[in-house]
Amino acid sequence: MTTTRPTTSHDDRAAAATATAATAAALRDILDDDQVLTDAASLERYSHDDAEWADYTAPLAVVRARSTEDVARVVKWAGDHGVRVVPRGAGTGLSGGANGILNCVVVSLELMDEVLEVNVDERYAVTQAGVINDALRAEVAKSGLWYPPDPASSAISTIGGNAATNAGGICCVKYGVTRDYVLGLTVVLADGEVVHLGRKTAKGVAGYDLTGLLVGSEGTLGIITEVTVTLLPLSGRDERAVIGYFPSLQDAGVAVAEISRAGIVPAALELIDHACLTAVDEWQHLGLPDSVDTLLLCRIDERGAAGDELADRVEEIFDAAGGTNVERATDPDEITRLFLARRLAYPALERLGPVLTEDICVPRRQVPTMLARIQATASANDVTIANIAHAGDGNLHPLIITPIGDDAAKARAKQAFDTIVADCLDLGGTVTGEHGVGLLKLPGVRAELGPRVLAMHASIKDALDPRGTLNPGKAF
């Protein structure tokens, strides 16, 4: 599962250069010259996302689209000439979904970064696909509105990429994932035609839910260029956080299961283990505790007495599960600091070496068991596994860290990765909660879905993309 580039001969390199030149010339006939990139640095930069252990191949060219029409022209040309198209947002994905493949053009939507409309009365926004998640949230906040989906990468990931992978986030335990907020899409189909799916009304059930089908399809059925999202009022929440330190991952997992069993739906319930806390604090010097095994952060946002009562119940559950120094934070700056540690965990660990990222999701009652199995897998394979989690909905992110250049450690990490996926499925879970399948999870998703459901996926793909133009080989 290492990131590899095939060794090429002089003749192969010459042929590739010729193909790149021909592709660039053809694309510059239909686009502005500065939209087509073919220099070696750009081809390398745009050839993969952040799943650095997934294979990739440099594209023939990179197109930086400025409009839906640009995307449509490229897709039509590619389909007519047998060239594949790999769509890309900010390249922050962790599954290889935006990785280049043989004989492809990468279409980047990063320049399509305008919020086109904010409708206060109907509470929706229309945004181009390249708008950064946090930028959309800031824009609608000016009108007193809130876009809830908040992946940990919200400061750098795009709305189009969020929609393509059905991204989740820290508050999705209560407020849902991207699909729950997408009302409509503008999509370029595999033949270059542009369609508008969905609606702008509060309700609507005309036809099949093609909008829902495209959300999470990882660019295999169409390229999303605009997204219409529903919004919530920004006011009406009264945030407080309950913080608990636990002597082990399993103890923290018990607290998570008990919160679910008690019927409490927190605004967020995040787990951070000692390795993550240490990595973040050594990098950012946030003053995080250095003598605890696992930290649980529970955010409650019900207003007034109802919120206080829920926070009291969470404190009781933390205490009963073995939590120590259980305390309540109401200061917004303190809450932000602690949740910032959760958001920074992945980039902090990346500084230590290559990170193979899991994205499993298990039933909440199985969280303690799954965490115990992850620790056993780390020990059995002699690898370091750090843990962060959207624990409130059972979405766990074991992060397998290997030393740079240690191929034996990478092989052991691959074995650990596969074991974690198998254990997740054994406990009734799913191989991806929010990152998407991409390339890394193909074996796992095939085991999860089974032959008949995979055949249904293939039928849909063949119907919408019979020539296999759009991101082939990804997602299933």
Output the domain CATH number for residue 356: 3.40.462.10
pLDDT tens across 107-163, in order? 999 999 999 999 999 999 999 999 999 999 999 999 999 999 999 999 999 999 999
Provide the residue type at 284 as one letter: Q
Does 284 lie in the same domain as 256?
yes
Does 294 lie in the same domain as 214?
no
pLDDT tens across 348-401, in order? 999 988 999 999 999 999 999 999 999 999 999 999 999 999 999 999 999 999
pLDDT tens across 426-454, in order? 999 999 999 999 999 999 999 999 999 99
Residue 418: other Cβ atoms inside 10 A: 15
For residue 8, name the pLDDT band (cuts at 50, 70, 90).
Answer: low
Residue 7: other Cβ atoms inside 10 A: 6
Does 128 lie in the same domain as 59?
no
- Provide the pLDDT for residue 12: 62
pLDDT tens across 66-94, in order? 999 999 999 999 999 999 999 999 999 99
- Provide the pLDDT for residue 9: 60
CB 101 within 8 A of CB 57: yes
* Local structure of 412: helix, strand or coil: helix
Does 273 lie in the same domain as 290?
yes
Residue 142: other Cβ atoms inside 10 A: 9
Q: Which residues of 258-290 are buried (b: 16+ CB within 10 A; e: fewer)?
A: bbbeeebbbbbbbbbbbbbbbbbbeeeeeebee
DSSP state of 470: B
Does 124 lie in the same domain as 76?
no
Which domain-ending residue is among 399, 426, 453? Answer: 426
* Local structure of 291: helix, strand or coil: coil
Between 3 and 32, the higher pLDDT residue: 32
DSSP state of 34: G
Stated as kind and residue range, the H or E segment containing 105 is strand 104-108
Does 133 lie in the same domain as 90?
no
pLDDT tens across 147-193, in order? 999 999 999 999 999 999 999 999 999 999 999 999 999 999 999 99
Residue 66: other Cβ atoms inside 10 A: 17
Does 361 lie in the same domain as 262?
yes
Tell me, yes or no, whether 306 lies in a domain.
yes
Does 286 lie in the same domain as 148?
no
Does 219 lie in the same domain as 245?
no
Tell me, yes or no, whether 173 lies in a domain.
yes
Q: Over 80: is that where the pLDDT of 3 sits?
A: no
Tell me, yes or no, whether 28 lies in a domain.
yes
Q: Which of 111-125, 228-242, 257-271, 337-351 has the lowest mean pLDDT?
A: 337-351
Largest CA distance in the chain: 74
Tell me, yes or no, whether 147 lies in a domain.
yes
Question: What are the C-alpha distances in Å from 458 to residues 13, 152, 220, 428, 462?
Answer: 34, 31, 11, 24, 6
Output the domain CATH number for residue 150: 3.30.465.10
DSSP state of 344: T
Q: Over 70: is that where the pLDDT of 266 sits?
A: yes
Write out 381-394 in H/E/C secondary structure: HCCEEEEEEEHHHC
For the chain, the average pLDDT equals 94
For residue 339, name the pLDDT band (cuts at 50, 70, 90).
Answer: confident
Does 287 lie in the same domain as 156?
no
> How far apart, in Å, do the first and last CA atoms of the chain sit?
17
Average pLDDT over residues 212-236: 97
Q: Over 90: is that where the pLDDT of 333 sits?
A: no
Tell me, yes or no, whether 446 lies in a domain.
no
Tell me, yes or no, whether 4 lies in a domain.
no
Average pLDDT over residues 403-419: 94
Average pLDDT over residues 409-420: 96
Provide the residue type at 69 as one letter: E
- Provide the pLDDT for residue 2: 41
Q: Which of 13-22, 50-59, 122-131, 384-393 has the lowest mean pLDDT?
A: 13-22
Q: How many domains are contained in the chain?
A: 3
For residue 6, name the pLDDT band (cuts at 50, 70, 90).
Answer: very low
Output the domain CATH number for residue 96: 3.30.43.10
Q: Over 80: is that where the pLDDT of 32 sits?
A: yes
Q: Over 70: is that where the pLDDT of 411 sits?
A: yes
In which order are the strands placed within the sheet that holds 104-108?
36-37, 61-64, 104-108, 84-88
Does 281 lie in the same domain as 214?
no
Question: What are the C-alpha distances in Å from 373 to residues 279, 369, 417?
Answer: 23, 6, 12
Query: What Rg value do the Cα atoms of the chain yield, rounded?
Result: 23
Tell me, yes or no, whether 455 lies in a domain.
no
Tell me, yes or no, whether 61 lies in a domain.
yes
Q: Over 80: is that where the pLDDT of 15 sits?
A: no
For residue 11, name the pLDDT band (cuts at 50, 70, 90).
Answer: low
DSSP state of 312: H
CB 94 within 8 A of CB 434: no
Print the domain residue range for 17. Answer: 10-108
Q: Over 90: is that where the pLDDT of 53 sits?
A: no
Which domain-ending residue is among 89, 108, 127? Answer: 108
Which domain-ending residue is among 108, 123, 144? Answer: 108
How far is residue 36's CA from residue 267's CA, in Å, rounded to a whole number?
Answer: 44
pLDDT tens across 276-302, in order? 999 999 999 988 888 889 999 999 999
Does 354 lie in the same domain as 326?
yes
- The pTM of this model reads 0.93
Per the DSSP assignment, residues forming a β-bridge with 328 are 242
